[in-house]
């Protein structure tokens, strides 16, 4: 089960980090033209609504690419196509007054389930039955600082990628 402290969802009681462990996770950057598929969450201790691409923990013995394929299948019932590694980010953060530390493998992918591209919003599910809101948000929304896109450093990574490879982005 994903740790709600690291994923930022408010559907479970946050747990304190035990022993200061670093958690490896994988996230999927999925584009619809200039918009990203992200989940929306709220940190009541900061009064902050924020967004993050879908993904979750990498299990022991599991490759990051396999983790993101599994997470997308579990959370939104979608298969992925063209999964490509973009980079790694280190994310040290506080959520609901609890400290977290993640190593985030960032992948770019397309959805094989094309009907999701037509939906503005959907409900995703954790393996424990908890649900959370998923939306498409334009990259310019995050560039304008209207709300944070986590993990830290992701916006910079996407802006560099966009500038270098804008002709390669799926235009669904």
Q: Report in angstroms the alpha-carbon separations of 116 from 90, 104, 119, 136, 149.
A: 29, 24, 5, 10, 21
For position 16, which CATH number holds?
3.90.79.10
For 29-88, what is each residue's pLDDT tens digit?
A: 999 999 999 999 999 999 999 999 999 999 999 999 999 999 999 999 999 999 999 999
Q: What integer pLDDT is reported at residue 76 of this predicted model?
A: 95
| pTM of the predicted structure, to 2 decimals | 0.83
Q: How many domains does the chain have?
A: 1
Average pLDDT for 110-134: 92
Tell me what pLDDT residue 6 has: 42
Whole-number pLDDT of residue 137: 97
Pair type for strands 23-32 and 98-111: parallel
Q: How many whole angstroms separate alpha carbon 99 and alpha carbon 141?
A: 27
- pLDDT confidence band for 126 (50 / 70 / 90): confident
Predicted confidence band at 165 (pLDDT cuts at 50, 70, 90)? low
Asked which of 9-23, 27-41, 98-112, 128-142 is least confident by mean pLDDT, the reply is 9-23
State phi, psi for 112 to the nearest 5 degrees: -75, -25
The residue range of the domain holding 44 is: 4-168
Averaged pLDDT of the chain? 86
For residue 48, list its beta bridge partners.
43
């Amino acid at each position: 089960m994903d740790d709600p402290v690291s994923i930022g969802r408010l559907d479970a009681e946050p747990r304190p980090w035990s022993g200061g462990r670093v958690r490896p996770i994988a996230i999927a950057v999925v584009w619809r033209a200039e918009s990203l598929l992200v989940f929306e969450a709220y940190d009541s201790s900061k009064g902050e609504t924020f967004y993050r691409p879908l993904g979750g923990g990498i299990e022991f013995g599991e490759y990051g690419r396999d983790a993101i394929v599994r997470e997308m299948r579990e959370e939104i019932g979608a298969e992925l196509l063209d999964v490509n590694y973009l980079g790694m980010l280190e994310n040290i953060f506080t959520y609901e007054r609890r400290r977290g530390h993640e190593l985030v493998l960032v992948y770019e992918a397309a959805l094989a389930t094309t009907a999701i591209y037509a939906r503005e919003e959907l409900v995703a599910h954790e393996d424990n039955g908890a649900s959370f809101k998923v939306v498409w948000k334009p990259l310019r929304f995050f560039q304008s600082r209207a709300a944070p896109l986590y993990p830290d450093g992701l916006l910079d990574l996407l802006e560099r990628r966009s500038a270098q490879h804008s002709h390669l982005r799926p235009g669904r």
